[in-house]
Amino acid sequence: MSGVDFEYILKVVALGSAIFGAWYAVYNFDSWRREHQGKRQAELAEETLALFYEASDIVNIVRSPMSWGYETDDLKRLDGEMDEKYQARKAAYVVFKRLSDHHVQLNKLYAMRYRFMAAFGAEKAKPFTDFHDVLSEIRRAGHMLSHLWARRPYQNEAQAERDDELIKMYENVFWEMLPEDDKIKPKVASIVKEIETTCRGVIEAKSTLYGVINKKFTH
What torsion do the CA atoms of 74, 75, 76, 77 make, to the nearest 10 degrees? Answer: -160
Contacts 24+ apart (CB under 8 A), 23-31: 27/217, 28/217, 28/218, 31/214, 31/217, 31/218
Q: How far apart are CA 144 and CA 20, in angstroms?
A: 71
DSSP state of 122: G
Do the beta carbons of residue 145 and residue 84 sit within 8 Å? no
Structural domain contains residue 1: no
Structural domain span for residue 163: 52-204
State the total domains in the chain.
Answer: 1
Q: How far apart are CA 38 and CA 207, in angstroms?
A: 11
CA distances from 45 to 35, 51, 107, 134 (A): 15, 10, 17, 22
In this prediction the pTM is 0.76
Q: Tell me: the pLDDT tens digits for 129-145?
A: 999 999 999 999 999 99
38-47, 106-115, 196-205, 210-219: least confidently modelled range: 210-219
Query: What is the structure's pLDDT at 149?
Result: 93
pLDDT > 70 in the chain, percent: 76
Structural domain contains residue 62: yes
Q: Tell me: the pLDDT tens digits for 67-122?
A: 888 899 999 999 998 998 999 999 999 999 999 999 999 999 999 999 999 999 99
Closest by CA to 101, choosing from 64, 144, 129, is 64
Query: What is the structure's pLDDT at 195?
Result: 97
Structural domain contains residue 176: yes
Q: Span 188-214, mean pLDDT?
A: 78
Structural domain contains residue 175: yes
Closest by CA to 92, choosing from 141, 57, 151, 135, is 141
Q: How far apart are CA 73 and CA 134, in angstroms?
A: 27
Do the beta carbons of residue 128 and residue 110 sit within 8 Å? yes
Structural domain contains residue 35: no
pLDDT at 217 over 60: no
Structural domain contains residue 135: yes
Q: Span 205-210, mean pLDDT?
A: 56
Structural domain contains residue 40: no
Query: What is the structure's pLDDT at 151?
Result: 84
DSSP state of 152: P
Structural domain contains residue 5: no
Which is higher by pLDDT, 2 or 135? 135
Q: Tell me: the pLDDT tens digits for 141-173?
A: 999 999 999 987 777 788 888 889 999 999 999
13-22, 86-95, 128-137, 178-187: least confidently modelled range: 13-22
